[in-house]
Amino acid sequence: MEKFSLQPNEPHDRGFAARLNWLRAGVLGANDGIVSTAATVIGVAGVTNFAAPILVAGTAAVVGGSVSMALGEYVSVSSQRDSQQALIEKERQELREDPDGELIELAGLYEQKGLTPSTARQVATELTEHDPLAAHLSAELNIDELEIVSPWNAAFASAAAFAAGAVLPLLAIVLLPSAVRIPLTFAAVLVALAITGAISAQIGGSSRRRAMTRLVIGGALAMAFTYLVGSLLGTTGIA
């Protein structure tokens, strides 16, 4: 019988899926920071060439966006965490009150996955002897008790990713000369969006060209629209 070994180029640790989700969320948060902040500062730049109001508007967009992202992520993850913990406690109680019935249920779940009744019973028994709660959480609910995300960590990561992405358009439009401020900021933002699109595609295993094109077109439309609105407001004297 050949000795069991893990494939060296494949992820097998329990935390890999969680880290992958964190990375994907970070890339998406950075993308949101890039697009929303770029749209804000370019819209203001359509009204005025002075750096001060552009900086104020951009800073407000970064702070407000970061807080909004953090709050939204905290509420979302807290709700998910509460639901998962309630399910875990319910499963723990069922194991205490009816261990035999839970063993039968676990064996039935493995039968549904294609194992023979005898093999399913053996697998359920051995997993129950090792860690009954983990066995039931995995088979019934697809939950890993060790991978439940902290809402505070999620909120901080979301805010940090948003702020990191927002820095580029803010610095670009404030530091560049007024004559080339808008076109070069457009170019810098589109390059950054192409990079985040490539990274997100790499993480998800999808088409890089499609992801990059989608983000670049979306970002370009957002900036063009806000610049047009700002220019119209400036021309009409409303702002």
Q: Residue 47: what pLDDT?
A: 87
Specify the DSSP class assigned to residue 183: H
Q: How far apart are CA 48 and CA 212, in angstroms?
A: 31
1 assigned to some structural domain: no
Each residue's pLDDT tens digit, 20-59: 666 667 778 888 999 999 999 999 988 888 889 999 999 9
pLDDT: is 167 or 2 the higher one? Answer: 167
Each residue's pLDDT tens digit, 80-125: 889 888 989 998 999 999 989 989 998 998 998 888 989 989 989 9
10 assigned to some structural domain: no
Query: Which amino acid type is present at position 197?
Result: G
3 assigned to some structural domain: no
Number of folded domains in the chain?
1
Each residue's pLDDT tens digit, 115-142: 898 998 998 999 898 888 888 888 888 8
Mean pLDDT over the full length of the chain: 84
Q: What sections of 98-141 are H helices per DSSP?
A: 99-112, 117-130, 132-136
Q: Residue 33: what pLDDT?
A: 92
Q: What's this model's pTM, rounded to 2 decimal places?
A: 0.74
- What is the gyration radius of the CA atoms in the chain, in angstroms? 25
9 assigned to some structural domain: no
Each residue's pLDDT tens digit, 209-239: 888 899 899 989 999 999 898 888 776 655 5
Please, what is the Cα angle at 27 between 74 and 169, to 5 degrees? Answer: 100
101 assigned to some structural domain: yes
87 assigned to some structural domain: yes
125 assigned to some structural domain: yes
11 assigned to some structural domain: no
Range of the domain at 178: 16-236
